[in-house]
Structure 1
Amino acid sequence: MSELTLDELKDFLLRAAGEDESVDLTGDILDARLVDLGFDSLAVIDTLNRLERHFGVKLPEEATTDVETPADLLAIVNRQVAEAA
């Protein structure tokens, strides 16, 4: 299984955001806070759930509170994907 890329993560985030047009994922967002990008805790949880289903992994429960940036999401998902391989 391949690692999650930033472009793929953007797709997951946009799906979780739904029709919220205030969400802007252009530019260098890797270290931007998810809340500053327009994501509340429910959107982050939705994104984590979608990523778990897509990659067939179980993310740690603390992911919902520890994840603050897209870089955090990439790290936690790719760590679980590597461990599952």
Structure 2
Amino acid sequence: MVSSWVNTTSNPGVTTPISIAQTGNKPDSVFDAYYETSRFANDQDTLGLTSFYVYGNNVQSPAEWGPPNQNWGWTTIRLNPNGFN
């Protein structure tokens, strides 16, 4: 799944030179992406949901991330398998 995001050129003039490596060590993970069938049972319209975390706390917006120089530390990307071939 994720390998299709790296260096994609499916849209003319658009590339995504991102680097993604799989790890089996959760503390090394910056984001986890997975299909979640139960959350999107009959939903064809939503492609996915992203949740951001700072020090283990789920935050919804930059205002909740803390000081201006604070970034989120980890995220989950839950993809809707109904929206993908």
- TM-score tier by shorter-chain length is under 0.3
Relative contact order, CA 8 A, sep 6+: which one is greater?
A: 1
More strand by share: 2
Q: Which TM-score applies when normalising by structure 2?
A: 0.26
Larger radius of gyration between Structure 1 and Structure 2: 2
More helix by share: 1
Q: Which TM-score applies when normalising by structure 1?
A: 0.26
